[in-house]
Structure 1
Amino acid sequence: MQPEPRQGHLSVAVVTGAGRGIGAGLAAALSARGHHVVVTDVDGDAAQATAETLDGPATAMPLDVRDPSAHRAVALAAAALGDVRVWVNNAGVLSTAPAWEARDDEVTTTFEVNTLGVVHGSRAAVDVMRRGDVLNVVSLSGLGPTPGFALYGASKAAALSYSQALDIELASARRPIRVRALCPDVVDTSLVSAVAHRPSAALLFTGTRLLSIDEVVDAAMGMIGSRRAMRTLPSWRAALQRTSAALPGLARVAVPIVARTGERRRLSR
């Protein structure tokens, strides 16, 4: 059942992983647009800290995106506040290591957060939304092979595929809910800083620069309410990723060469 929004039909936006970084930036941008923002994070204190910085009304809730029942609880709480018009699945974890060296818990957590978190969040959003946008923050790494990030890239590729299929299914069912996928390159966040010391992170530094949080937030906000189902940032890096996926023999030779350039840049930071 979809609960009725309270009187006044307040527009509500939900953001996961909003305790810091991109999520906090998205919460601020959505608040500036007049939404009541439900700020969620696995770290409840961080979610509360973000909520307190917003100019408009905000509600902070702890949320472990691996838990489908927790998503449903957030969705029901958001719907009780008003008309849920935006839901952003942003929470993610970054794993970097040779694929065969990853710990069992690292494998499980990467897919539970980056893939199942998007699936569970999208399903909870669709349950309570009458219309609006589900925005899934994915990654360029989901478009092609990313040595050193095999787990991360695979988890994001699955999230991207799910997002695109869900958008088509909703359109076929004539439900006015759009699913949008944003695929940014490497962003200058604490997630990246935490792994930058590892040689396996070399591919992070093969671009001309790291994207800023503001650039990603601006791109995301431009997608909400638009007809654009997917956006890559920057587009030229996306083209390289797609080429690597389409020509795996070439990628096997070329990508390690590119990674060596990234390793030199990583060491010079």
Structure 2
Amino acid sequence: MQPAAGQGRVAVAVVTGAGRGIGAGLAAALSARGHHLVVTDVDAAAAEATAETLDGPATAMPLDVRDPSAHRAVALAAAALGDVTVWVNNAGVLSTAAAWEAGDDEVSTTFEVNTLGLVHGSRAAVDVMRRGDILNVVSLSGLGPTPGFAAYGASKAAALSYSQALDIELAAARRPLRVRALCPDVVDTSLVSNVAHRPSAALLFTGSRLLSIDEVVDAGMGLLGSRRAMRTVPGWRAALQRTSAALPGVARLAVPIVARVGERRRLSR
């Protein structure tokens, strides 16, 4: 189905970090809805590969989300194609280490990509979008303490706070734009497999299973056009994260026990 666009113009969707994983899945789902996709990734070849797999029209562009001027260039190129009605800030990196052991570059990159990249992308989207949805892929880690992922969790908590504040500000300004935050638990992607060998990654394996990319894509697509500002997947894990944040004393005792369960599951993979 071709999505509605103003004055007969095609509806355009931008997805960052779309070279693989969740980003590629969201690009495919949006393409199936009839959007012209602007597929971006820091890996230009990966962006091209995703664009070539889509059913509908697609434009691939390299994008380092840490660069605000690069976001603006993508936004202008997307707006030249039609009406930008969906912008997905999906690009992210996953770091895991004891909080005091993470290297300088790892900490800086985590915040620059996961937090500033999302902020820069959201600002560029607001500049060119007259209406529609900004979908920010955040994480369940942003809802509470995540030992072994201190920098990652903090970067996602900041991204979530920014997303919620932006949505409220746009509504107050009567801008017909919605900001939606998608907070999934651990997803079976290369980001996870690349760190699964580290003991500090134990909390990744404390759930009953890893989410599939399709599950996360379906949840994200369900947020578009909805009144729901945030979606956690699954809800019960989100409740545990919020409890840890609300009761830090209890979390200090309980989380290490849970992490030991995750470590056994990690070693048994």
TM over 0.5: yes
CA contact (8 A) 1:185 1:237 kept: yes
Answering whether residue 23 of structure 2 is matched by residue 19 of structure 1, we say no
Return the offset for 1:50: 0.1
Equivalent residue number for residue 110 of structure 2: 110
Q: Deviations over 1:42-78 (max 9, x none)?
A: 0000000000000000000000000000000000000
Equivalent residue number for residue 123 of structure 1: 123
Q: Number of matched residues?
A: 265
Three-state SS of the structure 2 residue aligned to 1:262 is helix
- Report the aligned-residue RMSD: 1.0
Return the offset for 1:8: 3.6
Equivalent residue number for residue 179 of structure 1: 179
TM-score between the two structures when normalised by the length of structure 1: 0.98
Return the offset for 1:41: 0.1
Q: Partner amino acid for 2:22?
A: I
> In 1, Cα distance between the equivalents of 2:64 and 2:8?
30
Post-superposition, which runs of at least 4 consecutive aligned residues in structure 1 deviate over 3 A?
A: 5-8
> In 1, Cα distance between the equivalents of 2:181 and 2:204?
21
> In 2, Cα distance between the equivalents of 1:48 and 1:234?
32
Q: Deviations over 1:134-158 (max 9, x none)?
A: 0000000000000000000000000
Equivalent residue number for residue 207 of structure 2: 207
Three-state SS of the structure 1 residue aligned to 2:183 is strand
Q: Partner amino acid for 1:73?
A: A
> In 2, Cα distance between the equivalents of 1:27 and 1:143?
26
Q: Which runs of 5+ in 2 are unaligned?
A: none
Q: Deviations over 1:107-131 (max 9, x none)?
A: 1000000000000000000000000
Q: Among all aligned residue pairs of Structure 1 and Structure 2, give the percentage whose two residues are the same amino acid.
A: 89
Three-state SS of the structure 2 residue aligned to 1:161 is helix
> In 2, Cα distance between the equivalents of 1:253 and 1:8?
59
Equivalent residue number for residue 45 of structure 1: 45
Three-state SS of the structure 2 residue aligned to 1:101 is coil
Trace 1:1-269 onto structure 2 (pairs within 5 A): 8-269=8-269
Q: Which runs of 5+ in 1 are unaligned?
A: none
Three-state SS of the structure 2 residue aligned to 1:99 is coil
CA contact (8 A) 1:6 1:81 kept: no
